[in-house]
Structure 1
Amino acid sequence: MSDQKIHFYKGPAGGWGALKSVAQHLQAQGIALKGAKTLLSANQADGFDCPGCAWPDRDHRSTFEFCENGAKAVAAEATAHRATPELLGAHTVSWLAEQSDFYLENLGRITHPLVYDAASDRYQPIAWDQAFELIAAQLNALATPDEAIFYTSGRASNEAAFLYQLFVREFGTNNFPDCSNMCHEPSGQGLKPTIGIGKGTVTLDDFEQAEAIFIFGQNPGTNHPRMLGELRAASKRGARIVSFNPLRERGLERFADPQDKLEMATLGSTPISTHYFQLRIGGDLAAVKAMAKRLLELDDAARAAGQPRVLDVDFIAEHTQGFAEYEADLRAERWEDLIEASGLSREQLFAAADLYAQAKSSILCWGMGITQHQHSVATIQQMAGLLMLRGNLGRPGAGACPVRGHSNVQGDRTMGIYEKPPAAFLDKLGEVFGFEPPRKHGYGTVEAIQAMLDGQGKVFFALGGNFAAATPDTAATWRALRNCELTVHVTTKFNRSHTIHGRQALVLPCLGRTEIDLQASGPQSITVEDSMSMVHLSSGMNAPASEHLLSEPMIVARLAAATLKGRSKTPWLWLVEDYARIRDKIAAVLPDFHDFNERVRQPGGFRLRNTPSERIWTTPTGKANFIPFKLPSDTPLRQAQRQARDTVVFTLATVRSHDQYNTTIYGMDDRYRGVWGHRRVVFIHREDLKAIGMKAGDWVDITSLWSDGQQRRAEKFVLIEYDIPRGCLASYFPETNALVPLHSVAVGAGTPTSKSIPVVLSLRPQDPPLAQARSVEDTAAHEA
């Protein structure tokens, strides 16, 4: 306990703290010199694409185009530590399962393919041919291909993802749960009916021209640090940056750019948010509707006074449909309800709307703080409506910007990793490769877990990721995985999922993004698609961590050749001799990838066509559609309050610490929130502590409330006083994923509601309180 403390951070995001953290991580991985050289190749024209996140690069020529987050990801991959068969085999899997995620992460790179031996409860080395034969035999013994489930991580390349979906569909199923099902699925499902495409509409050039940038449910300082460079530049030129976030996050307050010599030398920083609105968890839907309602009222006043309209009536008339119903819905909402649901005052809501009305061009950004709620799809459709009211689509400096996490999660979906594929895509895939693709929709993530629980999913294959840690309802998910006949994980490092296995289990080590991929025709490059639809090459520069590693495309190709032997027309092994051949096939199936190999070799690659940017609306109406949605009254929180009766019910949001990326734990600190040396924490408002008769430093158990009557509990968390709205809590995942009910999902998207979990706290009196150095209010006074 001596290394665990709470001491609130006084510095800006970035700055010397970021550089110090990068240096510490490079040293901890034993690669100080190698790591520094590797980082200089990140996001370069002839280098590798950063595996840290999907934020785009300004260009691929900068000599310092990486951030703290990306540096940690690179250090973790380029580590000198090796998880050899001897190291892993020295421990039972049961013992490994008892260790922390941080411990497992730091075992290092896996060097050999591994098979689980039930008799010894250990992983043992296995030859690649034997591994593929084992998987093929299990797959071909299934009663139906739909008994197999194929998960995909968003870090798979376009080439790997395309081959993977081709193999699985030739095998005969559309069971493609992926990380999109757990993060930005609502963005796609919300935007497609409104603007005709499930992607953002902006580029980095738009950030240079926007007069206002509105950020919802996102913490770029931890999750997308390179985005802070764009926000800093916008702030310096006078753009308004308006943040909606329940927690005070340092990256949204001020930022010191490590590339700015003057700022670093003077210990200065740049303010980020000109306005910061701490709404209630889940209050974004009401806040966006309130802004739109206020615009209508401002427009009414302008018309009455004979002044220029606030609404872009020409855009609405020419490019949209459904405005009358949308307007009627907004006018019917009561201000009292919007204020109560948002957790913001009338004055704050008016101020946000007025800023939007005054800006000639605005961008709306959002992250998983929006998508992991019950009504996330409706919230995003209201955001699209807000953009349409002012014509902020299809013109410079304006548009929608869902900020995605995994470095190629958007590209994987473009490649066909989707459980509900469009008929046109399947038609073309079948035509090009000479087979009849399955038409039945497959399982998303939640459906896949339920299928495994029900015995309908018998083989689970994961191309990357950490499924057991990333998914909701941990106890149910782990039962599901253990119910499988076979679980297989393609990975670079050992993680939690490899300890939660089926009756048979394989761990297959692959090359990382930073490593040279040498195939029959020579060194290969792969491609990725960032959050703004830019597609570019990525080429590794380090020697592989082991001579026994295969690339992801090669693993897929060899598995396909073994499983589909004698019944596939696809030349699997020929395709992976030269990845340009895979890209030619992608171009043959996907029209937007025409001349793929030629265009991707241009500096910076190319941008996929984005029809809303051209004010072309590929919706059934041929227009951008306003979609009304009445503010819900019987929320999960209110249902839980009725269930708990006299007990205080909070709304909990799961969040990342600063020393993690998704489920990968790089360290035990959360610098910007002042948490050092541990992760089992709960952030809570000072007055809420008083109301429940507890104090900062007390240890509690957390229990979630859901209509199925099951008890979901996470034990031993310390309370930390923090600047967060009353009634709201925040805690880290994956530790609190156990509290998310499996079937508590976003309506219309199926995303787990990990950002809005009704919970109650119970004191653990047997545990001594943890001393906290300074309360958040005292820290604020100290800084002032």
Structure 2
Amino acid sequence: MGPRRSLQSLLALNQVDGFDCPSCAWADPEPGRRKTAEFCENGAKAVAWEATRKRVGPEFFAAHTIADLRARDSHWLEAQGRLSEPMHLAPGATHYTPISWEDALTLTAQRLRGLASPDRAVFYTSGRTSNEAAFLYQLLARRLGTNNLPDCSNMCHESSGAALAETIGIGKGVVTLADITDFADLIIVVGQNPGTCHPRMLTALETAKRRGARIIAANPLPEAGFGRFHNPQTVRGLAGPGTQLADRYLPVRINGDLALFAGLNRALIDHEEARPGSVLDRDFIERYCDGFDAAAAGWRALDWTRLERMSGLSRRQIEDCAAEVREAGSVVVCWAMGLTQHRNAVATIREIVNFLLLRGNIGRPGAGPAPIRGHSNVQGDRTMGIWEKMPDAFLDRLREEFGFEPPRAHGLDTVDAIRAMRDGRIDVFFALGGNFVAATPDSGVTEAAMANCSLTVHVATKLNRSHLCHGTQALLLPCLGRTERDQQAGGEQFVTVEDTMAMVHASRGRLLPGSPHLRSEVAIIADLGDELFGDELGWRAMRDDYAVIRRHIEHIVPGFHAYEERARQPGGFMLPRGPHDSRTFNTASGKARFTVNPPTSVEVPPGHLLLTTVRSHDQFNTTVYGLDDRYRGIRGGRRVVFLNEDDLRALRLRDGDLVDLVSVYPDGERRASGFRAVGYPIPRGCAAGYFPETNVLVPLDSTAETSNTPASKSIVIRVEATDRGPAAAPSS
């Protein structure tokens, strides 16, 4: 970026008059509690990655064929720099070539108008787009006549939304940052690695710990962030001994979390029955909940031997954890994709809700469920209507506001969109950001599915692998990044985002656009809408002044009254969350629901292992900043598989041997070659590897019940030694 641009950008990152971090969705402190450097290492990398002075323009594409670029790894592709002008891949061509914005939009509109059915188009979005762009995007798709609006939520926290909506009536968490830092007595972090995925969360946990809160971490891999945390923003953190964050570590087996929480609930019920009135919040259960008797009967019937086998934990470990819960006044449970990407993910999160309901840990300070979102506005996308099955009430308000009848039939989510493309039922694939091919399961199937489209369109800041897995014809449309100023006819614009704790706030870029050919996401969508339909819905006014979009949003989306005024307030505003604010639950019965969730596990044949996908320290989602993972001791490479030392010996392997990973599924086997075996403290029978390198092993049809989220955290694999000898790199 250069020193001046770096300072200009980083000092504005996550500040009230600056721009929101383009990486994770962790909540910002209140304006008066923010640091001058309110960002983590990965946030700084994300800004530098976007604001780089390197450019990928016509000369680059003239020098590289598609075949040449496909042979490069993802790290190299994105390191080349920012896309600088629209590019077009003609049918049968080997190179992208320049195209004007007018011709690109005309081509896209012609293809969309010529579809046999609007449902032969798919409109995908990543979680980094703004509220304003997301709202406009769903408006465009629904005006065309389709609800095919898959997004990255389908692949991460869809399971959380499904479970929470069913049990407490809202598909998002109900915990604030202050609940964690100022009020919680006990914080349980399960299936999440904050040190890599949400580093600023460690500061919040440190604040809670210094206040006296206790922290329990449950995860198959011990993570560095829960050990000695050295806060780089304090003298004590840099020079002192650091803070031991986790008071208790539970090395749960992969997919053992449902058994863990079922065991905790059984232990709490057992203690209550031995000492009536000592554990359960009977008043809360009777006033605000239903279904308790059936759930309690289910817990009493559980077999401890089976729970131990499924969870990988002893009864003593679970009961000791339950004793800490009994001592705590208020409990928060945080989780991420380590819970959501399993066959039984929705049941697991329902069981966490049961756990919280037993002691009234919803609707009071320092308590509640906290799904920790990854991408910076993935929660806002859903709030704005990016969902393939938005409720009729939202669609009714959309009709009243804009005067057209939105489609009512549910559309395609991410997995079903891949199936439809695979089967030749999609002609146009349009992506607003993201790296669809790298983020999705069953890489070979997904790449072939993309090739079945007649037109693929990607709105993006940088080149990525999805742009090289194209349809018969393809467009790359370069857009402004979060760091850049957005100047429209109505003046300089700002956008808004929603963080993981339902705070909505403004984001204003500081840097000049990286190219005169860049357009904002809002402008691209509005111009396409104008090209498709004329100005009947006011596309031009919305493009010229984003306040017009926000006025529409406040008429349609609950909680956004006086949107413009509140968005301009320092720190923004909190969206209403009934369970947290007033213990109101928008369920069928009007009460929070206890549910019965019999523990299940993945059957692993003898000689096989259960693989989970993980991030390295030096990446964010599919973006790989570097080839090291210093928290796990890996240097110079990503094709590694972490194995228990006993499993290494049983497989007659040594640390450093090269292996192939073969996933086993009823529809056949999938292979990922050239991985280095690394001994690691992971439970026996379990393994871990980085995504997206291991996505090829995830079967398209292996998904979570109810949410249809890819089961990327529980893949049955066979490890085969190769005849190529031990690997020379990476090192550990």
TM-score by length of 1: 0.92
Hey, what does 1:209 align to over in structure 2?
A: 183
SS of structure 1 residue aligned to 2:665: coil
Is residue 627 of structure 1 aligned with residue 595 of structure 2? yes
The answer as to whether partners of 1:84 and 1:111 remain within 8 angstroms in 2 is yes
Q: Distance in 2 between the 1:455 and 1:201 partners?
A: 41
Whether 2:8 is the aligned partner of 1:37: answer yes
Preserved contact between residue 194 and residue 384 of structure 1 (Cα < 8 Å): yes
Is 1:141 aligned to residue 114 of structure 2?
Answer: yes
1:229-240 counterparts in 2 under 5 A? 229-240=203-214
Aligned to 1:686: 645
User: Does structure 2 retain, via aligned residues, the 8 Å contact 1:214–1:243?
Assistant: yes
Does residue 1:601 correspond to 2:568, yes or no?
yes
How many residue pairs were aligned? Answer: 728
Alignment of 1:667-682 (within 5 A): 667-682=626-641
Q: CA offset at residue 62 of structure 1?
A: 2.9
Distance 1:105 1:224 in 2: 22
Q: How far 1:773 moved relative to its partner?
A: 7.1
The residue type paired with residue 525 of structure 2 is V
Q: What SS does structure 2 have at the residue aligned with 1:673?
A: coil
Show the counterpart of 1:477: 446
Paired AA for residue 431 in structure 2: A
CA distance in 1 between partners of 2:447 and 2:408 (Å): 30
**Which residue identity does 1:85 align to in structure 2?**
P
Structure 1 Cα separation of the partners of residues 227 and 391 of structure 2: 42
Q: What is the deviation of 1:711?
A: 2.0
Which residue number in structure 1 is paired with residue 357 of structure 2? 388
Q: Which residue type is aligned with residue 294 of structure 1?
A: A
**After superposition, what is the alpha-carbon deviation per residue over 1:131-172, rounded to whole angstroms, capped at 9, x for unaligned?**
000001111111000000000110010000000000110000
Specify which of 594, 598, 622 is matched with residue 663 of structure 1.
622
Q: How does 1:87-126 map to 2 (within 5 A)?
A: 87-126=60-99
Trace 1:691-770 onto structure 2 (pairs within 5 A).
691-708=650-667, 710-770=668-728
In structure 2, C-alpha distance between the alignment counterparts of 1:31 and 1:719, rounded to whole Å: 39
Match for 2:603 among 595, 612, 637?
637
> Which range moved further: 278-287 or 80-89?
80-89
1:262 aligns with 2:236: yes
**3-state SS in 2 of match to 1:508:** strand
Q: What is residue 428 of structure 1 aligned with on the other side?
A: 397
CA shift at 1:117, angstroms? Answer: 3.3
CA distance in 1, matches of 2:151, 2:569: 30
Counterpart Cα distance in 2 of 1:119 and 1:106: 27
Deviations 1:514-540 (A, max 9, x none): 100000111100000000000000000
> Does residue 1:287 correspond to 2:245, yes or no?
no
Unmatched 5+ residue regions in structure 2?
Answer: none
1:7 maps to none
Secondary structure at the counterpart of residue 135 of structure 2? helix
Matched residues in 2 for 1:165 and 1:351: separation?
A: 48
- Three-state SS of the structure 2 residue aligned to 1:576 is helix
Q: Does 1:225 align with 2:199?
A: yes
Distance in 1 (CA, whole Å) between partners of 2:7 and 2:682 is 38
Would you say the 8 A contact 2:635–2:730 is kept in 1?
Answer: no
Alignment partner of 1:48: what SS?
A: coil
Quote the Cα distance in structure 1 between the aligned partners of 2:179 and 2:500. Answer: 14
One-letter identity of the residue aligned with 2:559: D
Paired residues of 2:149 and 2:386 also in contact (CA < 8 A): yes
Q: Which amino acid aligns with 2:571?
A: G
- For residues 625 and 198 of structure 1, the distance between their equivalents in structure 2, rounded to whole angstroms, comes to 14
**Residue in structure 2 matched with residue 244 of structure 1 by the alignment:** 218
1:711-752 alpha-carbon deviations (Å, 9 max, x no partner): 211110000111111010000000000000001000000000
Q: Distance in 1 between matches of 2:586 and 2:93?
A: 57
Unaligned runs of 5+ in 1: 1-29, 642-646, 775-784
Q: Does 1:438 align with 2:407?
A: yes
For the 8 Å contact 1:637–1:651, the answer to whether it is kept is: no
Counterparts of 1:156 and 1:119 in 2: how far apart (Å)?
32
Shift of 1:120: 4.2
Number of the residue aligned with 1:782: none
Deviation of the 1:219 alpha carbon: 0.2
Instruction: Kindly report which structure 2 residues correspond to 1:278-677, keeping only aligned pairs within 5 A, or say none.
Output: 278-303=251-276, 308-565=277-534, 569-613=536-580, 614-632=582-600, 635-638=601-604, 641=605, 648-677=607-636
Partner of 1:21: none
Deviation, 1:371, is 0.2
Structure 1 letter corresponding to 2:25:
A
Kindly indicate whether the alpha-carbon contact (under 8 Å) linking 1:31 and 1:75 is maintained by their aligned counterparts in 2: no
> How far 1:668 moved relative to its partner?
0.5
1:238: how far off? Answer: 2.0
Offset, 1:32: 3.7
| Distance in 1, Cα, partners of 2:643 & 2:208 | 32
Task: Tell me, in whole angstroms, the C-alpha distance in 2 between the residues paired with 1:247 and 1:722.
Answer: 8
Q: What is the percent sequence identity of the aligned residues? A: 52
- Compute the displacement of 1:239 (Å): 1.0
Deviation at 1:351, TM superposition (A): 1.2
CA contact (8 A) 2:637 2:729 kept: no
* Root-mean-square deviation over aligned CA pairs: 1.2
| CA displacement at 1:31 relative to structure 2 | 2.5
